[in-house]
Amino acid sequence: MNNFVYDTPTKVYFGKDEELKVGKLIAAFNVKKVMIHYGGHSAEKSGLLDRIRNSLKQENISFVELGGVVPNPELPLVRKGIDLCKKEGVDFILAVGGGSVLDSSKDIANGVANPDVDVWDFSLGKCSPQKTLKKGAVLTLAAAGSEMSNSCVISNPDTKEKYGYGSPCNRMDFAIENPELTYSVNAYQTACGAVDIAMHTIERYFMPGEDTYLTDTIAEAVIKSTIKAGKDCLANPNDYAARANMMWASSLAHNGLTQCGREFQLTVHQFEHEVSGMYPQVAHGAGLAALWCSWARFVYPANINRWLQYSERVWNVDIDFEHPEKTIEKAISMQEEYYKSIGMPVSLRELSVKKEDIPELALRCSRGKKRVLAGYKPLGYDEMLKIFEAAY
């Protein structure tokens, strides 16, 4: 097991009606003004925003609002949020929504607190935020895990780039998780969420590291729980237990727990960021589903034993010791069929990605043939191109 640091400073308030506490939670920070950041009309129509406004008013907390976050949150709105916070003297950001809203809030908080830096430079990896504003989240979508992660992913529509960066400054101070707030999430977004949650753990699972039995079993439980919860949520959108398991899995999958003792990188995510960066209409989870099986088939020969373990423990496939590749192929095919069963794509063609864009996707993913993604099988431009082509 490799050395590691495990730090999850986000305080989670989980369960029914927990969002009613938001005013008291923020009041404890002695803030001057809050910016409520959200996406579209669903938070308004559901009455959630009104409940939050009333909770803040009860604590005599002043607030401003900024909506309009879209899936794959965009840099122009981040800049607008930074300007609004500076103008209004905002010192706390409350994100109300899913991962896109939370990531937009994180970037705004970092931009306000580091005024001498162009906020896009954080995404480009030119520098890291040194401080940030206080921030909290009321989660309405189980998917990205941004509520407990140190990650922030932002898209630049002008350059069609989508990059993520990790920083302790990206941690939420608190996260409110009421599974009932996800009842209204439609089937497609629910399925996308199930893919993203599981993928956060699966990709960690296949990074180098030895003697990580405990981490492995935790990861396997998160993956299997997410697969089951995804099916159950689609069968009955108001199944509290299923929504609760999905929401909690979202947090555990991306807070660092399932990587303890192993190297870290989300390889398939790097591929998908290029797809949804170039095609903003592509939902993140759908893009991951379209890419994963081709990636898996390409890399598994580099660590047969690891993939046999995954096949047996997650998909309950009996190991064929004479032909281990058959065991692994069966597990990959089972995961592929699962994606199909929940309405997810298993090819880039299904997402209307143009075949002629494949070389450009590989070029961008490899940062102009200069980046190699680590793992049991390192992936440079040539390998990336083969995976993108196979996924088409």
- Residue 135's Cα: distance from chain center in Å? 18
Residue 298 burial (CB count, 10 A): 17
Q: What is the pLDDT of residue 378?
A: 96
pTM, whole model, 2 decimals? 0.95
64 bridge partner residues = 35
Per-residue pLDDT averaged across 371-382, rounded? 96
CA distances from 367 to 271, 370, 380 (A): 11, 5, 10
Q: List pLDDT tens digits, range 17-39.
A: 999 999 999 999 999 999 999 99
Delineate the domains of the chain, giving CATH numbers in brackets: 11-181 (3.40.50.1970), 187-391 (1.20.1090.10)
Percentage of the chain modeled with pLDDT above 70: 100
Query: Residue 40 pLDDT more than 90?
Result: no
**Are 6 and 35 in contact, with CB atoms under 8 Å apart?**
no
Q: List pLDDT tens digits, range 236-270.
A: 999 999 999 999 999 999 999 999 999 999 999 99
Pairing of strands 33-38, 151-156: unpaired
